[in-house]
């Protein structure tokens, strides 16, 4: 069922969406816990105790990502914040690509980037699939989305299509833009992409809050299952994702931008909650994201990594089962032993066989 359409400012017709447990037809909401209202932003800004970050952190050089991987393997490169380059045997994916100097309007306003992108756009391979989790500026910059040529397919949650590049379908070409509701799926080339719930909110101005959906994605391609969590507070949705999307090989889970807890906890996990989410989705290996790039909240730049180590110890999770990559670092996750014999993916983590890669 859809809500009747209505007009907003300047007579613009506002889009409507199917009414569900997370949408009233015009605005989206979280089934479990809502983001803080705008008035609380003022309280936070007035009372915040912000730890000073360095203005610039240089990158440590790392080998380039591999040019190919074998079927059943996946190479994951951390570019920064929530941007990863992911390569499987047939498909190259990029998540929430942001290459701008700031996480705000036009990519020139808002929180400045303290670490440059670990891969420059010119150094990226041709991209097949672009995943966009929601419309916040640190996850969606139109100038970055326009970098990926005429052949990349874009997948976003409901309402997110308005921010994606407008592309003319080439003769005989496949569909290039997909908008999905939670639990909706699309076949994007050889990849099956499912939009999964997250606990967050959306806004790019003071007037469009929750007009578009937010999400994570589960991608099944070339025998590998990848979960990109997007941006989320901790909620029962992680256990649901683990149940409905079994066999997650690698999960990309946010660990930063969580202080103060009274304000951030509905929408951003701290590292302890991130480890609980890792256990809930039953990921064989998890990789941390959403830290050390833009100062969005009050914790120190390196506190998420220290807190992740404490959380792993508290929950009995091995370091190689939930780790943080350095900026620009690549790991290849493989089902093959050194003798080339296939073994269960989860044994790779238990044997500390997350391997750094070199160019092919």
Confidence bin at 15 (pLDDT 50/70/90): confident
- pLDDT top residue among 359 and 242: 242
User: Distance (Å, rounded) from C-alpha 284 to C-alpha 272?
Assistant: 18
- Closest by alpha carbon to 230, among 261, 207, 251, 205? 251
Does the predicted TM-score (pTM) go above 0.85?
yes
Ordered structural domains, the chain, with CATH: 1-30 (no CATH), 38-356 (3.60.15.10)
Checking if the pLDDT of 358 tops 50, the result is: no
Could you count the other beta carbons within 10 Å of the beta carbon of residue 42? 10
Checking if the pLDDT of 320 tops 70, the result is: yes
Burial of 216 (0-12, 13-18, 19+ CB in 10 A): buried
Confidence bin at 356 (pLDDT 50/70/90): very low
Mean per-residue pLDDT over the chain, rounded: 89
5-9, 75-79, 237-241: least confidently modelled range: 5-9
- Tens of pLDDT, residue by residue over 81-121, are 999 999 999 999 999 999 999 999 999 999 999 999 999 99
The per-residue pLDDT for 3 is 55
The per-residue pLDDT for 349 is 37
The per-residue pLDDT for 1 is 53
DSSP-derived secondary structure letter, 313: H
- Tens of pLDDT, residue by residue over 294-306, are 999 999 999 999 9
Burial of 93 (0-12, 13-18, 19+ CB in 10 A): buried
């Amino acid at each position: 069922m859809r809500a009747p359409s209505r007009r907003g400012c300047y007579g613009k017709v506002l889009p409507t969406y199917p009414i569900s447990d997370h949408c009233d037809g015009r605005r989206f909401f979280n089934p479990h816990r809502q983001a803080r209202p705008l008035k609380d932003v003022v309280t936070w800004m007035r009372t915040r105790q912000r730890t000073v970050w360095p203005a610039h952190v240089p990158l440590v050089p790392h080998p380039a990502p591999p040019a190919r991987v074998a079927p059943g393997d996946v190479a994951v490169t951390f570019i920064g914040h929530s941007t990863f380059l992911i390569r499987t045997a047939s498909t190259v994916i990029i998540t929430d690509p942001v290459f701008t100097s700031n996480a705000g309007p036009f990519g020139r306003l808002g929180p400045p980037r303290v670490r440059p992108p670990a891969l420059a756009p010119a150094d990226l391979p041709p991209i097949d699939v672009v995943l966009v989790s929601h419309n916040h500026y640190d996850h969606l910059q139109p100038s970055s989305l326009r970098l990926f040529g005429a052949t990349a397919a874009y997948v976003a949650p409901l309402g997110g299509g308005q921010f994606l590049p407008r592309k003319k379908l080439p003769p005989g070409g496949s569909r290039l833009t997909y908008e999905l509701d939670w639990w909706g799926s699309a076949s994007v080339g050889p990849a099956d992409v499912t939009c999964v719930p997250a606990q967050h909110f959306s806004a790019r101005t003071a007037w469009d809050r929750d007009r578009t959906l937010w999400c994570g994605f589960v991608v099944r391609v070339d025998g590998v299952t990848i979960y990109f969590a997007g941006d989320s507070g901790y909620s029962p949705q992680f256990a649901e994702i683990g149940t409905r999307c079994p066999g997650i090989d690698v999960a990309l889970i946010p660990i930063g931008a969580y202080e103060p807890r009274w304000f951030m906890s509905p929408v951003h996990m701290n590292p302890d909650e991130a480890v609980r989410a890792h256990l809930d989705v039953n990921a064989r290996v998890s990789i941390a994201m959403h830290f050390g790039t833009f100062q969005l909240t009050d914790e120190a730049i390196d506190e998420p990594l220290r807190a992740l180590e404490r959380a792993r110890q508290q929950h009995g999770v091995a370091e190689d089962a939930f780790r943080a990559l350095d900026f620009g670092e690549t790991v290849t996750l493989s089902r093959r032993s050194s003798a080339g014999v296939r073994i269960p993916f989860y044994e790779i983590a238990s044997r500390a066989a997350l391997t750094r890669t070199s160019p092919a």
